[in-house]
């Protein structure tokens, strides 16, 4: 507004942030359209190079162009096209399980912090305000400070978390979280590696982003802030998607799908993929090439809630189910499974002709053309980038649900490798396993990243773990505190059904994400969140809870060999048991890290039960007894009112 002081003179800010904004050339953005224009401001022949002068010459981090459906950005380094799981370090002395900056780099962060602020002071900056989380529930006022020539990065963050109009950046907007972006330091200080540095003070949370991939530097950076606040205040920011499924008979069931990156969270919101003749391809046998199909005349309607991050609220005062709401304003959707036109017509239509500009990453697009989600950039000749992405505002998603929903079913997704007699692996999960709460908690502690995750830089570990809640890579505090929060959450919501769903493979069958689409249809149609005893049998591997004896959708039966993998001809008992042993070793290795003196006593019992080779009935008994104790303890004290806003920080 004409005549008013600039925002940094009106907002209450820490002195170091104020100094940067006083000295730099600053453009304050109020809308994503402004940031889209900034993304290609200096384009030559349609291309804007995100480039920096470093010792040795000019470094081009990314190339950006405007396309008919938004902004397209491509990184010059294939390593930057997916998230490095080992990128987070801590620069303060508060409690953490993560490596500190001084431990990894051999010195205090203070000097680099000063150099970073000095560099930002010398730049043209794009600055905007937003709320980390959800403004009207558990939102934290925040400020993004980015070099203006990396406008595409600022655009992605503004889409994901929203943007406050400049006129709102005044004495009533008091940022407590700050994202400071300094891309050239990746080359000059960190050997080209993705690094983000979290610095937590008693009042503020600083995130220093030294790379331009939004995964660790914006999206998961904000996630780390929310986890830290939740740890202090006693709530969980879950790594999940959620959808309300509406059956042809108008039955409504809400499913919360958790899991590591690549575990099917975005896919749970997608419509089931069909063959050209309308049938569903259940799977293809990796040994014989045989295909298995299913006829499903009409699928359920989907009303999406969230795609990757949810703020979990306490149950209603007399409730026994979890409540949640989306923590984001847009979704960071991976589209590697859209390999050609016609695979997912709704998503294709939304991205080809969106009502507002989108941000595309890692797609082979050209200036003034149209970014197509099935055309990724090549990492090498003939090698498609496995992590093409689109940032899509949730407001343009058809049927979107705003506000708080109550969860009926909690599913957990696992990327499973093929398992055969020739090559036994842990790919022994049947199409759906039913878990007692204690066992469901253990899966959330170990959170296997699983087979060939397209979102993550590969590691040599046989079964990598994403850690507690599948959000440990973004966690700045202590895993044991989050483990306790998850245990209490699960025991306090006993009316939720817990299921385990694989993707990619079931034994010898290549299945993609079809298991979770079929299970979504089945669970919504049956409605009840409890199975009759004759519908379930104990799984041969106790870690898999109970297997279904049959599964029928609209009159079509699923082969029993997809429900109980040991029955597959190309697997057999010996290979299944070797896969079960691999899972047990994985659980043994990863659960021991939680045996901390601060672990909930019941949690210790559950973990020790697993380490001793616990049986299904042991987990069921611990679930029942633990739930009764938790509910009795809650009844002895008057519960406080549910606070839907975060207290002042």
Would you state the structure tokens that stand for residue 137, as one six-digit string?
Answer: 């529930």
Task: Look at residue 390 in the predicted model and tell me its pLDDT.
Answer: 97
Dmax over CA atoms of the chain, in Å, equals: 78
Task: Look at residue 648 in the predicted model and tell me its pLDDT.
Answer: 31
Entry pTM: 0.92
* Nearest 10 degrees: Cα torsion 572, 574, 578, 583: 50
User: Could you tell me which residues come within 8 angstroms of residue 262 by beta carbon, excluding any fewer than 6 positions away?
Assistant: 334, 415, 449, 450, 452, 453, 454, 455, 456
CA distance 304 to 401: 6
What range does the domain containing 263 cover?
237-322+407-635
For 301, the 3-state DSSP assignment is strand
The candidate with the shortest Cα–Cα distance to 262, out of 615, 513, 561, 618, is 513
Q: What is the number of structural domains in the chain?
A: 1
User: Could you tell me which residues come within 8 angstroms of residue 4 by beta carbon, excluding any fewer than 6 positions away?
Assistant: 10
Q: Is 37 a domain residue?
A: no
DSSP letters along 480-492, please?
HHHHHHHHHHHHT
The candidate with the shortest Cα–Cα distance to 575, out of 583, 566, 584, is 566
CA distance 516 to 272: 9
In angstroms, what CA-CA distances link 500 with 96, 245, 463, 545? 30, 18, 17, 9
Residues lower than pLDDT 50 in the chain:
1, 637-649
CA distance 591 to 402: 36
Report H helices in 310-450: 345-352, 437-446
CA distance 325 to 312: 7
The candidate with the shortest Cα–Cα distance to 542, out of 451, 443, 462, 416, is 443
Q: Is 115 a domain residue?
A: no
Give 306-334 as a 3 state SS string: ECCEEEEECCCCCCCCCEEEECCCEEEEE
Other Cβ atoms closer than 10 A to 41: 14
Give 450-481 as a 3 state SS string: CCCCCCECCCCCCCCECCHHHCHHHCCCCHHH
Task: Give backbone dihedrals phi and psi of 335, rounded to 5 degrees, phi first.
Answer: -125, 30
The candidate with the shortest Cα–Cα distance to 27, out of 213, 181, 166, is 166
CA 245 to mean position of chain CA atoms: 20
Whether 609 and 584 have beta carbons less than 8 Å apart is answered as no
Q: Is 612 a domain residue?
A: yes
CA distance 493 to 402: 22
Q: Is 247 a domain residue?
A: yes
In angstroms, what CA-CA distances link 498 with 303, 321, 493, 541, 628? 21, 12, 11, 17, 18
CA distance 46 to 160: 25
Sheet holding 177-181, edge to edge: 25-28, 124-132, 140-147, 177-181, 205-209, 196-200, 88-90
Q: Is 548 a domain residue?
A: yes
Q: Is 452 a domain residue?
A: yes
Task: Look at residue 111 in the predicted model and tell me its pLDDT.
Answer: 97
Q: Is 581 a domain residue?
A: yes
CATH number reported for the structural domain that contains residue 440 in this entry: 3.90.228.20
Burial 474-508 (b: 16+ CB within 10 A, else e): bbbbbbbbbbbbbbbbbbbbbebbbbbbbbbbbbb
Q: Is 201 a domain residue?
A: no
């Amino acid at each position: 507004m004409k005549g008013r002081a600039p925002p940094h003179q009106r907002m209450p800010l820490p002195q170091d942030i104020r100094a940067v904004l006083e000295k730099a050339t600053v453009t304050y953005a109020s809308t994503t359209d402004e940031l889209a224009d900034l993304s290609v401001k200096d384009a030559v022949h349609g291309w804007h190079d995100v480039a920096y002068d470093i010792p040795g010459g000019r470094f081009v981090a990314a190339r950006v162009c405007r396309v008919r459906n938004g902004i397209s950005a491509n990184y010059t380094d294939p390593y930057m096209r997916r998230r490095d799981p080992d990128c987070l370090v801590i620069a303060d002395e508060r409690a953490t399980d993560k490596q500190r900056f001084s431990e990894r780099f051999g010195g205090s962060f203070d000097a680099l912090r000063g150099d970073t602020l000095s560099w930002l002071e010398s730049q043209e900056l794009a600055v905007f305000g937003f709320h980390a989380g959800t403004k009207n529930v558990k939102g934290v006022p925040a400020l993004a400070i980015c070099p203006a020539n990396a406008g595409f990065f600022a655009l992605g963050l503004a889409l994901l978390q929203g943007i406050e109009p400049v006129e709102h950046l005044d004495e009533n907007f008091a940022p407590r979280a700050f994202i400071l972006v300094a891309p050239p330091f990746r080359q000059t200080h960190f050997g080209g590696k993705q690094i983000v540095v979290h610095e937590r003070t008693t009042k503020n949370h600083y995130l220093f982003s030294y790379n331009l991939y939004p995964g660790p530097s914006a999206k998961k950076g904000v996630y780390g802030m929310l986890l830290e606040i939740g740890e202090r205040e006693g709530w969980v920011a879950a790594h999940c998607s959620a959808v309300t499924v509406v059956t042809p008979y108008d039955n409504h069931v809400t499913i919360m799908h958790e899991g590591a990156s690549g575990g099917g969270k975005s896919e749970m919101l997608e419509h089931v993929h069909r063959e050209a003749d309308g049938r569903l391809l259940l799977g293809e046998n990796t040994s014989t090439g045989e295909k298995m199909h299913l006829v499903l005349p009409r699928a359920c309607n989907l009303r999406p809630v969230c795609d990757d991050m949810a703020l979990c609220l306490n149950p209603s005062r007399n409730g026994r189910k979890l409540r949640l709401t989306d923590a984001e304003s847009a979704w960071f959707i991976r589209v590697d499974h859209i390999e050609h036109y016609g695979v997912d017509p709704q998503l294709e239509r939304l991205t080809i002709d969106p009502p507002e500009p989108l941000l595309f990453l890692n797609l082979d697009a050209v200036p003034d053309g149209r970014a197509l989600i099935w055309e990724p950039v090549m990492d090498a000749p003939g090698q498609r980038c496995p992590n093409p992405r689109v940032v899509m505002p949730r407001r343009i998603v058809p049927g979107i649900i705003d506000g708080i929903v109550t969860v009926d079913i909690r599913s957990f997704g696992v990327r499973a490798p093929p398992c055969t007699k020739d090559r036994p692996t842990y790919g022994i999960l049947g199409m759906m396993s039913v878990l007692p709460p204690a066992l469901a908690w253990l899966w959330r502690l170990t959170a296997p990243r699983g087979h060939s995750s397209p979102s993550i830089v590969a590691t040599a570990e046989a079964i990598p773990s994403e850690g507690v809640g599948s959000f440990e890579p973004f966690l700045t505090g202590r895993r044991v505190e989050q483990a306790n929060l998850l245990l209490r959450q699960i025991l306090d919501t006993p009316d939720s059904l817990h299921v385990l769903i694989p993707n990619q493979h079931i034994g010898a069958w290549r299945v993609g994400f079809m298991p979770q689409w079929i299970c979504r249809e089945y669970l919504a149609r049956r409605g009840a969140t409890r199975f009759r005893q004759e519908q379930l049998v104990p799984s041969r591997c106790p870690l898999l809870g109970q297997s279904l004896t049959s599964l029928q959708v609209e009159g079509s039966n699923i082969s029993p060999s997809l429900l109980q993998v040991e029955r597959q001809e190309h697997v057999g008992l010996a290979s299944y048991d070797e896969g079960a042993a691999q899972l047990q070793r994985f659980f043994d290795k990863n659960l021991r890290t939680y045996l901390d003196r601060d672990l909930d006593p019941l949690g210790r019992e559950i973990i020790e039960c697993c380490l001793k080779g616990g049986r299904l009935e042991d987990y069921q008994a611990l679930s029942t007894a633990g739930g009764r104790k938790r509910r009795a303890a809650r009844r002895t004290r008057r519960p406080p009112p549910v606070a839907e806003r975060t207290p002042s920080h």
